Structure 1
Amino acid sequence: MSDLARDARRALREGPDGIARRQRTRLAEIVAYARQNSPFYRDLYRGLPENVEDVTLLPVVDKKILMAHFDDWSTDREVTRERVEAFIADPELVGQRFLGKYLVASTSGTTGVRGLFLSDGEYARVHLALGSRATNDLGLGGALRVLTHAGRTAVIAATGGHYYSAASVARFRLDHPRLGRIMKVFSIDQPLPELVAGLNDYDPASVAGFLTLLTTLAGEQEAGRLRIRPAVLMPGGETVTTEARQRLATTFGATVRPAYMATECSLLALSCPHGWYHVNADWVVVEPVDADHRPVPPGEPSHTVLISNLANRAQPILRYDLGDSMVVRPDRCECGSPLPAVQVQGRAADLVTLPAAGGGSIGLSPMLFGVLLDGVAGVERYQLVQTAPDRLRVRLRPVAGADSDQVWRAVCQKLARLLAEQRVAGVALEHGDEEPEQASSGKVRRIIPLAKA
């Protein structure tokens, strides 16, 4: 067991005081490191006390601000936006070390601003150490099932780009060749029958993926087409309701352990059997706040949440506006964990249900559309609105100087190809003249399924 893993276990044994002590120490260390090595933070933190253990002393940042100061934000002077862009342009480099040091992950997120995030080897080691907290409640039966399935893990993720899930698995496989052999990525954009066949053949001990896709796979398992017996299911990307959790657990006979994570901080929180996410507060600071970034009392939903990632020094994420809404539990969780317990209100997405070519209907994950449209040149922001069972309205904001007609044609071609590959038929695409609508939180919900009666 590594020193980091031992410390992660020791922190739980020491309880809230030990966790808080680690958080204060690590916050002070990373703020000092950021001030010394990042010109952006050196300027931003000018005038602050020399030693900062109170996160509320720091100004708030967001993705737009960090991307605008990319070269000065990074703590390595060799890192530039131009060099990172050139690196991620090659899909063959997914998971490879940028500059021989860093994992690169890209995302556009719900704000419509594409993010490029680097993480270092120490961050990966912390993430691996905290992962031991996810397997504490499998029980003897679950542990035996993991062994009989040789520990195989299936990660169903966006591929074809430097998205975090696929990139981190590729990085892990390169760093740990022996363990890496039991991890396999399945693309979310392959036709459902192919995905089902691949999972049946692989027979995984654990499955991680987007919640809506795992729900679709539950339907395949109930119909008898999917025949797997994983010990653990790890849904992510959306709020996991009690009903969804129970269905997955019953259908697969598995322990369901949703993870709350973001590309900016993949080690945010893990769920417990009582339906709460427990924040890894020894390595992450989470602040539920109102619209003016003032603290929200426990038990009340926040307008947004600020996160500080204390493990990644390549590009420090400090008091970063993540955009999600959450509620902090005011008392200790029944599971006994000393880590803060939260429920996440944001990230709830539904399947987009469209007519299938052979009759009936088919549900597509919003992530499928997101991955597709993120890669269209000339698109600054978009929103896909299902206005009828067989109609999708596309709202586009092209980047400055782009030919709007050319961008629209490219989007139509991409969408038509996706629908054909997913065996969807009879769906009309219409070009919306209006701008993508922004919610009061500042988010743009990029995919809006048809409202259910």
Structure 2
Amino acid sequence: MRLRYHRRRLADFAGGMRLSRELIGHERWPREQLRQHQQQRLDALVRHAVERSPFYRERFSGEIGSGPVELSRLPVMDKTRMMENYDEIVTDPRLKRDELLAWVERMQRDEFYLGEYRAMTTSGSSGKKGLFVYDAGGWRAIAAMFFRQNAWMGVKPRLPRRFRMAIVGGAAPSHMTRQGSANLKIGIHRFLGLPLTLPIERMVAELNRFQPEYLNAYPSMAVRLAEEQLAGHLHIAPKMMSTSSEMRTPEMTERLVEAFGVHPFDLYATTEGIWGVECEYHEGIHLFEDVALFENVDENDHPVPPGEPGAKLLVTNLYNRVQPIIRLEVSDVLTIEPEPCACGRTLARAHAIEGRSDDVLRLPGRKGDEVAVHPIEFGIVTRDREVREWQVVQEGRSLRILVVPRSGASNALERRVRGAVSQRLSELGVADPRVEVERREELARSAGGKLQVVVADPAARETHLGSR
């Protein structure tokens, strides 16, 4: 049984490598040539979905003719509707939501569902858990984007002295990080995968033993490792480094450069299928829009022009056929750069991933209005050298700042953080900022290992508007 698993894993690795070389050839296409490629993939995807998916057959009735598909005419889908209609959305009738969820919960090691599908869940940090299944073509596109990210950072197969890669990621076998890492363990690179749940002392010992040339971690964990490096416990000298899956503030970037002597690349990857990476200029994340389409829209699903932040993305995965994802809401807040990048690549470039719209705080303003406070504004907490980790929890119109202090932190820490956050909120126009600071030994993480740095109170906006 495991022989079949290993053969499939090798085939996915080889297929992903081949596709990555093809996709890299798209990166400097004229925009019109890229649009033609996107249209061809979209037409094929939508017609496949209408033919094989009962849900899309009914949902797109009357919208699909013989000509090119007009994406903007198709209805938008959120994660709740996707989960409610899961069994009718997938194109393989053997796939059933409840059976898949039960199977994923029982996973103890990396394996394929029914011997052919990758199945994974999102952690549900926004309160909306998602289930995603990838067929061979879809998963090889995911692998191709991973290899593509590596190529941009300079990570390439090397023999006879293999490249040493270390990834600190989600602990559960159902997490995309773990399943993606399984693709690497075929001997091309020397690879070390460490779960985020590993005690920091063991993590430091493993990294010291392995001496990675490349290190990837969530920003919060990368900063924790930077602290260990600066304290003299961790002794590694990576040639390249990257972070992903959480917001990384400029202050965090400065700390990583100070500790490791390299400028980390910022990666973007979603289970829905839209990925990206910074180029050598580190001036925004290029999105792999030849694999998945994205629409940057406002709260009413209207397009947002480049240079302005959107409220969410609508994602269409062009490669996964078993679970067609067409205009699915993803609550990431992006601003698309209006100007081309100096690197010469023509792929769209996000100025920053500014967090999730679910994490934007709504606080009463001095003028009787409502002030939207984006997660990036709390980067000021990271500037305090005595703060190791932090989290903002909204409770109505009040904020609790939970901080994990560095060893030897002074008694003035809480006062400084409270003052810095209160001043920033006042500058943004918040009326009478209410901020409390509490120390913690550690902060809770999601099942996937992510730290949700801002926890918004969903009732806060309604409460504020109702009082006006």
Both structures adopt the same fold (TM-score exceeding 0.5): yes
Please, what TM-score do these two structures have when normalized by structure 2?
0.71
Query: Offset at 1:237?
Result: 1.5
CA contact (8 A) 2:311 2:333 kept: yes
Distance 1:252 1:269 in 2: 23
The correspondence for 2:164, drawn from 148, 152, 169, is 152
Question: C-alpha distance in 1, partners of 2:403/2:252?
Answer: 21
Query: Which of 288, 292, 300 is residue 292 of structure 1 equivalent to?
Result: 300
Q: Which residue of 2 aligns with 1:351?
A: 390
Q: Which of 12, 21, 25 is 2:40 aligned to? A: 25
Q: Which residue number corresponds to residue 341 of structure 1?
A: 349
Aligned: 1:322 with 2:330: yes
| Counterpart among 93, 112, 115 of residue 127 in structure 2 | 112
Asked if the contact 2:272/2:315 (under 8 Å) is kept, the reply is no
Structure 2 CA distance, aligned partners of 1:360 and 1:250?
20
- Counterpart of 2:186? 177
Which residue is equivalent to 1:444? none
CA, structure 1 residues 219+320, in 2 after alignment: closer, same or farther (shift >3 Å)? same
SS in 2 for 1:233: strand
> Is the contact between residue 31 and residue 346 of structure 2 (CA under 8 Å) also seen in structure 1?
yes
For residues 459 and 148 of structure 2, what CA distance do their matches in structure 1 show? Answer: 37
* 232-241 or 28-37, which deviates more: 232-241
Q: Which residue of 1 aligns with 2:89?
A: 73
Q: Structure 2 CA distance, aligned partners of 1:214 and 1:358?
A: 17
The equivalences for 1:33-44 within 5 A come to 33-44=48-59
SS at match of 1:346: strand
Tell me the distance in 2 between the aligned counterparts of 1:303 and 1:388.
29
TM-score of the aligned structures, taking structure 1 as reference length: 0.73
| 2:121 alignment partner, SS class | strand
SS at match of 2:148: helix
Shift of 1:275: 2.5
Taking a change above 3 Å as real, the CA distance of residues 5 and 355 of structure 1, as seen in their structure-2 partners, is closer
Residue 103 of structure 2 aligns to a residue whose secondary structure is helix
Cα separation, partners in 2 of 1:319 and 1:138, compared to 1, 3 Å: closer
TM-superposed CA distance for 1:182, in Å, is: 2.4
Going from structure 1 to structure 2, the CA distance change for 1:129 and 1:345 (only over 3 Å counts) comes to same
Q: Which residue of 2 aligns with 1:268?
A: 275
- Given that 2:28 and 2:345 are in contact with CA atoms closer than 8 Å, whether structure 1 keeps it comes out as no
Measured on the aligned residues, the alpha-carbon RMSD in Å equals 3.1
Which deviations, in whole Å up to 9, do the C-alpha atoms of 1:260-281 show, x marking residues without a partner?
111222x521112232111111
Q: What does the per-residue CA deviation read over 1:96-121, in whole Å, with 9 as the maximum and x for residues that have no partner? A: 10011111111233331221111122
Equivalent position of 2:247 in the other structure: 239
Letter in 2 for 1:268: W
Deviations 1:410-435 (Å, cap 9, x if unpaired)? xxxxx9999xxxxxxxxxxxxxxxx9
CA shift for structure 1 position 232: 2.2
User: 2: distance between equivalents of 1:356 and 1:289?
Assistant: 38
Q: CA deviation at 1:10?
A: 2.4
1:275 & 1:90 partners in 2: Cα distance? 42
The 2-side partners of 1:340 and 1:255 are apart by 22
The partner residue of 2:214 within 203, 206, 214 is: 206
Q: Which amino acid aligns with 1:155?
A: I
Query: Match of 1:389, as an amino acid?
Result: E
In structure 1, the residue corresponding to 2:327 is in which secondary structure?
Answer: strand
- Is the counterpart of residue 58 in structure 1 residue 79 in structure 2? no
Displacement of 1:250 after TM fit?
4.3
Q: Does 1:306 align with 2:314?
A: yes
Distance 1:315 1:360, change over 3 A: same
Q: 2:176 aligns with which of 143, 164, 181?
A: 164
The amino acid of 2:177's aligned partner reads S
Residues in 2 aligned to 1:270 and 1:262: alpha-carbon distance in whole angstroms? 12
The 1:81/1:260 distance shift into structure 2, 3 A limit, reads: same
* Cα pair 2:121 2:132 within 8 Å, conserved: yes
Structure 1 residues 187-233: Cα deviation after superposition (integer angstroms, max 9, x where no partner): 11222111111111121222222111101111111222111122221
1:5-39 Cα deviation digits (max 9, x unpaired): 34213212433222221111111111111111111
Aligned amino acid, residue 64 of structure 1: T
Shift of 1:66: 0.4
| Secondary structure in 2 matching 1:327 | strand
Partner of 1:254: 262
Change (3 A) 1:217 1:439: farther
Q: 1:87 to 1:110 in 2, by over 3 A?
A: same
Asked if structure 1 preserves the Cα contact closer than 8 Å seen for 2:214 and 2:241, the reply is yes
SS of the equivalent of 2:187 reads: helix
1:389 maps to what in 2?
A: 438
Quick check: 1:155–1:209 contact (8 Å CA) kept in 2?
A: yes
Which amino acid in structure 2 is aligned with residue 108 of structure 1?
A: S
CA drift at 1:354: 5.0
Superposed displacement of residue 242, structure 1: 3.6
Q: Does the aligned pair in 1 maintain the 2:245–2:269 contact within 8 Å?
A: yes
1:90 corresponds to: 106
Partner of 2:22 in structure 1?
A: 7
C-alpha change, 1:351 and 1:440, in structure 2 (3 Å) is same
- CA distance in 2 between counterparts of 1:153 and 1:439 reads 44
Classify 1:438/1:21 alpha carbon distance in 2 versus 1 (closer, same or farther; 3 Å). Answer: farther
> In the alignment, is the contact (CA less than 8 A) between 1:25 and 1:53 conserved in 2?
no
1:357-412: CA deviation from partner (whole Å, max 9, x where unpaired): 98759xxxxxxxxxxxxxxxxxxxxxxxx9642479xxxxxxxxxxxxxxxxxxxx
Residue in structure 2 matching 1:224, options 226, 232, 241: 232
Query: Structure 2 vs 1, CA of residues 278 and 143 (structure 1 numbering), >3 Å: closer, same or farther?
Result: same
SS in 2 for 1:220: helix
Tell whether the 8 Å contact from 2:230 to 2:259 is kept in structure 1 after alignment. Answer: yes
